Structure 1
Amino acid sequence: MKIKILAISAVLMCFFGIGSTHATALDFEHKTDFILNDSTKSFVLENISDVSAIDYFLGYQFTILGANTCSVEIKLQRLGLTGDYTTLSTKQFSGSWLDFRAQDKVSIDPFHRYRIFAEEHSEYCTSVRVKGSYGIEYFHFD
């Protein structure tokens, strides 16, 4: 009886087909390596509507070195109609993030301008080195 059920199931699956969906995602396409010396750093991302996709994600994956005496705050922001940036996500990192990568990712809409904004939050910060990748990640079906 079990063999008949398995055989009928196999025939039905072959007849109707088993649709397979493959999802792909691109890694962050921009690489960076900079030093924060009592300042801020921002990366503006435009023209993300060039790629047709189901979902768009703004994010980064950084390695932060030398932030032992201070903290680094990284914000993911969207430009509004008034020219002001609205913060979508904020994360603070302190210490060295060599083993644990500083990362964040938020879902976004196309046809907007976005930026990643990094700043230090202490008077006693030494040279904080940040390196890694950032950008837009596209999620679409093949």
Structure 2
Amino acid sequence: MKMKILALTAVLTCFFGIGSTHASALDFDHKTDFILNDSTKSFVLENISDVPAIEYFLGYQFTILGANSCSVELKLQRMGLTGQYTTLSTKQFRGSWFDFSAQDKVSIDPFHRYRIFAEEHSENCTSVRVKGSYGIQYFHFD
């Protein structure tokens, strides 16, 4: 009896096949290159529910140049119903960070408006150059 059950299981497995599941995540799709001169810079991201996915991540990968005596603070924020932003993650970078080493990523919900907010916190800053990529990563199964 056990042999018949094993044989039947083997035949059904071969007939229907064993499905394989592949997961994929896209890289950040927006590129930027800007100079932060004693001010702030923000990137607003909308309509992120257009891509069907299991998980969504908001993040950035930046190279920060010319911030030797400066402090650059980058925040990942979500807009609430009142229009004010709530900070999900804050990172502060001092000095120069090369080769996309200034990075952060948080898990988010698809039906909200998000932004990445950058500002300087030192008085003696010259022009700080920030370049890299930012946006939403979609984690979905193929």
Report the TM-score range of the alignment, normalised by the length of the smaller protein. Answer: 0.7 to 0.9
Q: In the alignment, is residue 27 of structure 1 matched against residue 45 of structure 2?
A: no
Partner of 2:140: 140
Structure-to-structure mapping, 1:1-142, within 5 angstroms: 14=14, 17-99=17-99, 101-142=101-142
Gaps of at least 5 residues in structure 2 are 1-6
TM-superposition CA deviations, 1:78-104 (whole Å, max 9, x none): 000111100000000011101461000
State percent identity of aligned pairs.
87
In 2, the alpha carbon distance for the partners of 1:43 and 1:103 equals: 15
TM-score, structure 2 normalization: 0.88
In 1, the alpha carbon distance for the partners of 2:124 and 2:21 equals: 52
In 1, the alpha carbon distance for the partners of 2:18 and 2:127 equals: 56
What amino acid sits opposite 2:115 in the alignment?
R
In 1, the alpha carbon distance for the partners of 2:41 and 2:58 equals: 16
In 2, the alpha carbon distance for the partners of 1:123 and 1:27 equals: 35
TM-score, structure 1 normalization: 0.88
In 1, the alpha carbon distance for the partners of 2:77 and 2:41 equals: 13
TM-superposition CA deviations, 1:61-83 (whole Å, max 9, x none): 00000111011000000000111
In 2, the alpha carbon distance for the partners of 1:122 and 1:26 equals: 35
**72-81 or 18-27: bigger deviation:** 18-27
In 1, the alpha carbon distance for the partners of 2:95 and 2:123 equals: 15
CA RMSD of aligned residues (A): 1.6
In 1, the alpha carbon distance for the partners of 2:89 and 2:130 equals: 19
In 2, the alpha carbon distance for the partners of 1:54 and 1:132 equals: 26
